[in-house]
Each structure stands twice: as structure tokens, then as C-alpha cells.
Structure 1
Amino acid sequence: PPMGPRRLLWLDRALDALSDTGLDDGQKFNATTVLSGYALTDATLTHSLGAGGKAPAARAKGAAEYGEVLTEVLDPATYPALSGMMRSGLLRDSTGWTEDADFRFGLDLLLDGIEALIARRAR
């Protein structure tokens, strides 16, 4: 749950931004916590792939290297979909997960869903 004055202030501002949407309080709260959770998860992933306080040799050097590692360790019988994606080279040409485009894709997906929810409530 949001704790501390800064996180609670962000939550309050996000709830206020949804005040005229027609969403009920539970929907507003859920929408804001989903967005917050997405941002925190992305920040954690970016931090762990970036400096993160670890020596460079101790971490993957971006999505391409991570994809190579997954290709080697995934059992296709246990992880058929993920293994197939990694073996196809899905991440080979990627410049990494720290690009804005990757974050924006997920954020836009969430915002489109919230927009659709607001439109359904308006009917």
C-alpha cells in the first residue's frame, strides 16, 4: 500500500485527476494503484539492469544478452512460448529495456484500458 507523504500525495493527485471521469471510488483507486505498480515495477527492472550497485560483470548488459541467457537455460518443454520467442531472437536487436518506447508501450496500454473503462461508465 502507498506509504509515506510523497506516495500518498501522488495517490491523492492521481485520484483527483480522475474526479470527473464517472468512475466510482473503487475504480479510481484501482486505476491509480495499477499505474503506480507499473511504474514501480519498471523502475525496479531498469535499476536492476542498470547500475544497481553491482559490478558490470555481475549483471546482464541489456535485453539482447538477457535473451541469449534465456535461450540457453529455458527448457522448451516447460516454457514453450517463451522459449520460442527467445530462440527466434526477439530481444537480439533490442537496445534494452531502459528505452522510453518500452515503458510507453505498457503505459499506453494501461491508459487505453482506463479510457475504455471511463467510456463504459459514461454509457
Structure 2
Amino acid sequence: MIFIIPKQDVTATDIAQLRKLFGSAISDIKLASKLRKPLVEIEPFTTNWDEEKFYLAKLYRLLVGQASVPFEILEGSSLEDAEFLSSGALYSRLATLREIELEQQRLTDLEMGYIGSPEEFRPHDQDWL
């Protein structure tokens, strides 16, 4: 599970940016910041994955493109055991998820007889990373 948590002691500017990114209410952002609770939780390869993968890529680009962002990204089976992901660690994790996605597409194409060998495989979608 990937958790997106606002940093502690968010400023008015931070709250505005978080509202724009996540669509959360001001009170929810302040409470999540104070209690260190996620505004967003993403489980890769579940129902909304086709939308959430682009969202994670956008957050990654913000992490590497801005000096400071008002959120942190953590990963773990639960919030209690989640670990902070640096921009490099997030990229690595997203690249791994993309590889899993492509491998699944490749295997499906082989099983369905759309391709005769793995070398014939072409991705079904654009590279979101």
C-alpha cells in the first residue's frame, strides 16, 4: 500500500497545494497533518490502478521538480510499518510496478495467442512513468 501524508505543520500555501492535488477539505488536511494520517491510500493493481498510476507518476515529478513539497510518500502493508520513500526510491518502486504490468501484458498476449514469442510483444499502453 502506498500512503500519501501531508507534512506536519502545514502552512496556508501547503494547504492550498494539497487541496489542489488531492481535493481534500481544509479540515481533513489539517487533521491528517496533525495525526500523521494519509490523505490518499493506493493499492497497486486494484480497481482504480489505470488512473492511480498516472497520479503517482505526477507526484513523483513534483517530488523531483520542486524544492519542497507539502507531502510525504510512504509504503508498507499498513501505515504502522510503512517506510518513507525518497524520490529515488519512489521512482524505483514505480519502475518495478511498470515492469510487472508489462510482464502481465506479455504473458496474457502469449496465453491468448496474440503473439508467438516474447520478442513480438508491444506494450498495450503508453509508458506512464
Which is strand-richer, 1 or 2?
2
Q: With the length of structure 1 as denominator, give the TM-score of the two structures.
A: 0.37
Larger radius of gyration: 1
Which is helix-richer, 1 or 2?
1
